[in-house]
Amino acid sequence: MSGPFLPPQSTSPRLLNVQNLSELHKCSDPRCLLQIHSQIIRHCLHRNPVIASKLVAAYSLCLRPYSAASVFSLVPEPTSHLFNTLIRAFAHNSLPSLSFFTFSRMQRSSVKPDSFTYPFLLKSSSAPLRTVELIHAHILKLGFLGDIFVPNSLIDSYSKSGEVGSAKMVFEEMLVKDVVSWNSMVAALVRAGELRDARRLFDEMPERDIISWNSMLDGYAKAGELDAAFDLFHRMPARNVVSWSTVLAGYCNTGDMETARMLFDKMPAKNVVAWTIMISGYASKGLAHDASILMDQMEEAGLEPDVGAAVGILSACAESGFLVLGKRIHAAFKRRKLRFFIQISNALIDMYSKCGDLDEAWAIFEEMEEKDLVSWNSMVHGLAVNGHGRRALELFSEMEDNRIVPDGFTFVGLLCACTHIGLIKEARRFFTSMEKEYGIVPTIEHYGCLIDLLGRGGLLMEAYSIAKTMPFEANAVIWGSILNACRVHNNVSLAEKVVDELMSLEPSHEGNFAIILNIFAAAGKWDAMGGDRLKMKDSARRNRAGSSCVDGMHSQEDRILKMLDRLGKHLKKVIC
């Protein structure tokens, strides 16, 4: 890697020319870039398409896509290279709509797209399948498949939009393949979960580079086959920071934080990604202390979180309710005055609403200059589960006014909203209309919402029969919600059926156990709990008597318990 690009200060400004700016596109320091940009303008070189391309690329690298666009706009006759660079700048800064807009401008201009245009365009988003197919058709028409990086990027895009079959077709039809083609195909199979096929291809490869090994390694790590991953890791001819991080992430995902930490400490070099994996690992498991310390150490090492780090750590914070660290990430991005990437704002909305700070979530949502479907969905769901069901439904109307097309996530939020305000009829309407009007096939999450809602509304038998007849095997979440409904509505006989289902899925879950005891106690049916079931419950109790999921994890247990006690007393005063 070459060093940071520096403005040619030693040279007299008069000598600024295309030659001594040849490395400009690698400049990743915004301050340096601004300085050189003003020099370029002073010398009237900014209309030169070659220099403008370098400026566009550099602004993209500095995460300033709008500055890149303004450089572009001053060039009287943009070349295809300049168009391509701007398309790539927008793609790289997750502004897909602007990538496509630039592409359509290019088509209307006298400059024609070339074989670089389409790969950049394909990268511009996790492009929806239709878009990939459309671009594929363009490529076929123009005969660009001969440039090997074009089919290579098609394989990648098909894979990322979930069409591994089309990726296979492109791969098989290629007359000449390079190591990138093979790697892309292995990665595609790994992504699709077709681990055995990936391995077969990996074994067939005419040559392997470190990326091939890392892709295969990732396949085993993602599948939780850590022994196989570790074996491969040792057999690799060489390992880099990605290889280490891949295995590290594998251990973090299975919750083996000790092994993960051991690997992390042993890594010969760590980058932001490695730190992110370890910090998010701790944060998502509620190990707030470890996560904070590591965050300090990362900063001491001179590394600042990038977009991926922010999104990853924020989502880990959302999972465990770790508001303090989430706020810290938020503040760091504000301080650095970086454009808030849409994914970061989205992650913040989710984090704040999961931590109960709905005002902050709403403030971020409102201030976003561009919202995507995830933003709307997160906000709808956030409102719904924080007791603002009506507002959530209103926001859905606003979505429709803004012509945002809802997806499956949207309907989960809407069904949650119905649950919180008890709108059974409305929920049934949403449930049927999502498939009929929007073509969204309900998933187990939708059934879960509906079943929960019906159960809370006292329609226990209907909830139970849906759980039995829906196209998915009911899981512990669903049985748990029915069981809870049985408790609320004192239905002991159904509870007994549900207990059997639940016990086979989550035999030692303390929360279920407490509900079961409550139901039988309330009904005075202690006798009914004879035999095997009682024994099972007893052994579960002895193993972890009186423990809940948060016990032992918190350094502030005493304060929390006192607060709970005070809350309880306060509630009694208010109610009585």
At closest approach, how far in Å is the CB of 451 from DNA? 8
At closest approach, how far in Å is the CB of 264 from DNA? 11
Classified as helix, coil or strand, 120 is helix
Q: Which is nearer to DNA, 53 or 215 (CB)?
A: 215
Is 180 a binding residue for DNA by CB under 7 A? The answer is: yes
Q: x-or-dash pattern for DNA, window 264-303, by CB under 7 A?
A: -------xxxx-xx--x-----------------------
Q: Which is nearer to DNA, 168 or 354 (CB)?
A: 354
State which of residues 24, 309, 323, 519 lies at the interface with DNA (CB under 7 A).
309
Q: Which is nearer to DNA, 106 or 466 (CB)?
A: 466
Q: How far is CA 356 from CA 349, 351, 361, 570, in A?
A: 11, 9, 9, 20
Q: With contacts defined by CB under 7 A, how many residues of the chain interact with DNA?
A: 83
Is 449 a binding residue for DNA by CB under 7 A? The answer is: yes
At closest approach, how far in Å is the CB of 382 from DNA? 8
Q: Which is nearer to DNA, 72 or 378 (CB)?
A: 378
State which of residues 27, 187, 427, 486 lies at the interface with DNA (CB under 7 A).
187
Q: Which is nearer to DNA, 34 or 368 (CB)?
A: 368
Is 501 a binding residue for DNA by CB under 7 A? The answer is: no
Degrees to nearest 5, angle at CA 309 with 370 and 268: 155
* Helix, strand, coil abundance in the chain, percent, nearest 5: 70, 0, 30
Distance CA 516, CA 417 (A): 27
Q: x-or-dash pattern for DNA, window 477-496, by CB under 7 A?
A: xx-xx--x------------
**Contact stretch for DNA (CB under 7 A) within 12-20, 75-83, 109-117, 214-222:** 214-222
Q: Which is nearer to DNA, 67 or 243 (CB)?
A: 243
Is 445 a binding residue for DNA by CB under 7 A? The answer is: yes
Distance CA 405, CA 457 (A): 30
Is 388 a binding residue for DNA by CB under 7 A? The answer is: no
Question: CB-based contacts of 118: which residues, under 8 Å, 6+ apart?
Answer: 135, 138, 139, 144, 150, 153
* Continuous H helices in 236-385: 241-253, 257-266, 272-284, 288-300, 307-320, 323-335, 342-354, 358-367, 373-385
Which of 77, 76, 58 is CA-nearest to residue 68?
58
**Contact stretch for DNA (CB under 7 A) within 63-71, 109-117, 133-141, 211-219:** 211-219
| Residue in the block written with tokens 């999450």 | 445
Distance CA 66, CA 63 (A): 9
Q: Which of residues 391-430 bind DNA (CB under 7 A)?
A: 407-410, 412-413, 416, 419
State which of residues 84, 102, 152, 166 lies at the interface with DNA (CB under 7 A).
152
Cα torsion 372, 376, 381, 383 to 10°: value is 140
Is 312 a binding residue for DNA by CB under 7 A? The answer is: yes
Q: Structure tokens of 254?
A: 């299975």
Cα torsion 228, 233, 234, 237 to 10°: value is 130
Q: x-or-dash pattern for DNA, window 326-365, by CB under 7 A?
A: ----------------xx--xx--x---x-----------
Is 28 a binding residue for DNA by CB under 7 A? The answer is: no
At closest approach, how far in Å is the CB of 168 from DNA? 15
CA quadruple 381, 383, 385, 389: dihedral positive or negative? negative
Q: Count each helix (H run) and each strand (E run) in the chain, helices first.
A: 32, 0
Q: Which is nearer to DNA, 24 or 350 (CB)?
A: 350
- What count of residues does the chain have? 576
**Contact stretch for DNA (CB under 7 A) within 19-27, 35-43, 475-483, 525-533:** 475-483
User: Hey, how many other C-beta atoms are within 10 angstroms of the C-beta on 514?
Assistant: 13
Is 537 a binding residue for DNA by CB under 7 A? The answer is: no
Q: x-or-dash pattern for DNA, window 225-264, by CB under 7 A?
A: ---------------xxxx-xx--x---------------
State which of residues 43, 46, 138, 509 lies at the interface with DNA (CB under 7 A).
509
CB-based contact 197:168 (threshold 8 Å)? no
Is 53 a binding residue for DNA by CB under 7 A? The answer is: no
